[in-house]
Amino acid sequence: MEKMDATGLAEKVRLKEISPRELVEYSIDKIEKLNPSLNAVTSKRYEKALFEAETRDFTNKAFAGVPILLKDLGQEQADEPSSSGSKLFVNYRAKLSDNYVKGLENLGFVILGRTNTPEFGFKNISDSQFNGRVNLPMDLSRNAGGSSGGAGAAVASGMVPLAGASDGGGSIRIPASFNGLIGLKTSRGRIPVGPSSFRGWQGLSVNFALTKSVRDTKRLLAGLQVCQLDSPFPLPLLSQDSLNSSFPKGLKIAVQKNSPVHSSVSDSAKKAVDKLAHFLATQGHEVVELDNLPVDGLEAISSYYVMNSVETAAMFDDIEMLLGRSVTKSDMELMTWAIYQTGKGVKAKDYSKLIQLWDRYTYLMEEFHQEYDLIISPATADVAPKHNQLDLSESLIESLNHITDYNQKQQEELIVEMFAPSLALTPFNQLSNITGQPSISLPVYRTASGLPLGVQVTAAKGREDLLLALAQLLEDRELLCYSNEIK
């Protein structure tokens, strides 16, 4: 069963070749065996899941009885823990289920628990002080990525066939690249939002999943997609015909191998892109290597960090109301504290200008896609990092501990410095979050040592169908190198 995808398992349930309870018991056994070494799962609801597996009606459900794990960041399920990787929420239980979670349940999934994530999802690795680090299944000395690192490790190791994930700046695509999985970041407005939050990070953050087959990705997108008129970003639905269409002929495809923030990119990441670019060229597509995209990468990431700090300051207002007290530096990790303090000083007029700048970026990329159908780039600039590889320097730690002593400009510069090592590893991801475009990490490459590296493919807003058609073509040609546990 561990080498079957969710669609195949659901079909076995439909044919009564296996029961939902047997699927749940199998996943529970895998989690109990593997989690001590991976630390992917942070909370469990086994008894409830077994009861649901025996009592729920799975008739005509796309993923009937298939076990799944949620990410422990958002994705709230009523009366279940939701820690966001923070000790502030050690005893917190969600009051309501998010519409995304309800959507998963309506598709027939049985939820087994929640997966590890960095505190509040701020990192591209998962190593929260509250829940500990997540180990990469194929090399335990490396991190499985973030912020959906627990989800990546859970799927790559075979605990579950797919897992809930979210992406506000690469947090689906990064662990997909590191773990040899498919990681689709959907268009803004594609997946249901609310009722607890309707515009996470101003719409940059979206929920979806990490998967190990194209048909699972397609089926999940078809089942979850909405045109949600009570959300800030309604989007027309994709038709079943478009979701299952073949990859078109004669496309013009841009190749971006240079880092948009002028950091180094490994030879392996460039080879991964070259592999896909060469294949597309042999299929008759026009493949054009570009030095830069229309958006200034350094300007974009600077604005991204400002947004992140403002939204964090707003979040802590809500947390303080929930706790009935003020929060202190000792309540959180140092990086979180620095982001929070920086956000408190941003002026409303400057934040308004930032949102307008992002509207300009969106316009520029829509214009760009009038000429280029797709953009291919590294999903990550290198393989999964070693544990402690991205640790902060002692001098920077000292500065962050005294961040309230600095003026606003200096604080923002410290945030840029704080994220510089991790940004260098993942510089290609954030733009599609800002512009709302769909972007996918596909497992097309392995290094000589066997570590996965994904290639990122980005399309115009609303064109997930084009990404999935390419993914299907690559899978059909056996050009996707899935993780070791997956066939």
CA separation for the pair 361, 370 (Å, rounded): 14
- Nearest CA to 193 out of 152, 159, 232, 145 is that of 232
Q: Among this protein's residues, is 83 annotated catalytic?
A: no
Element containing residue 49 per DSSP (H, E): helix 46-55
Question: Which structure tokens are listed for 3?
Answer: 């080498």
List the catalytic residue out of 27, 82, 148, 171: 171
List the catalytic residue out of 82, 147, 148, 231: 147
Alpha helices for 181-333 (secondary structure H)? 214-224, 240-243, 267-282, 297-323
Identify any residues that bridge with 340 across adjacent strands, giving them in sequence order. none
CA separation for the pair 325, 347 (Å, rounded): 25
End-to-end alpha carbon distance in the chain: 11
Q: Among this protein's residues, is 386 annotated catalytic?
A: no
CA separation for the pair 157, 175 (Å, rounded): 13
User: Within 10 A of 244 (CB to CB), how many other CB atoms are there?
Assistant: 14
- Nearest CA to 96 out of 114, 71, 117, 75 is that of 75
Helix-strand-coil percent breakdown of the chain, rounded to 5?
45, 15, 40
From residue 18, alpha-carbon distances to 29, 255, 365, 372 in Å are 16, 45, 47, 46
List the catalytic residue out of 12, 30, 61, 71: 71
- In sequence order, the 6+-apart residues with CB closer than 8 A to the CB of 291 are 258
Q: What is the DSSP string of 379-406?
A: SSSSSPPBTTTTPPPHHHHHHHHTGGGS
Q: Among this protein's residues, is 205 annotated catalytic?
A: no
Q: Note whether 403 and 411 are within 8 A (CB).
A: yes
Residue with tokens 């075979």: 158
CA separation for the pair 379, 323 (Å, rounded): 39
Q: What is the set of active-site residues?
A: 71, 147, 171
